[in-house]
Amino acid sequence: MTPSQALAADIATPCRIEPPRACDGIGRAIANAYARELGLPQDMAMLLAKLNDRDPRCHW
């Protein structure tokens, strides 16, 4: 791909990056990044629960 083709591709498919919204479920997304069999550290689970306004005793 030549530089002019790359520029044309960037213009043809604009991508807008925005900060996450409160309803995006940041905590759930981070928690899902961990393998279930390894488990999520309790302190991390509590912090993620605060992000999602969930009970920290909930299992991910």
Q: Are 27 and 54 in contact (CB under 8 A)?
A: yes
DSSP letter assigned to residue 55: -
3-state secondary structure of 39: coil
Residue type, 37: E
Gyration radius of the chain's alpha carbons: 19
The 10s digit of each residue's pLDDT in 6-17 is 556 556 666 777
DSSP letter assigned to residue 31: H
Distance CA 44, CA 31 (A): 9
The 10s digit of each residue's pLDDT in 26-51 is 767 776 776 565 677 788 877 877 77
- Stated pTM of the model: 0.30
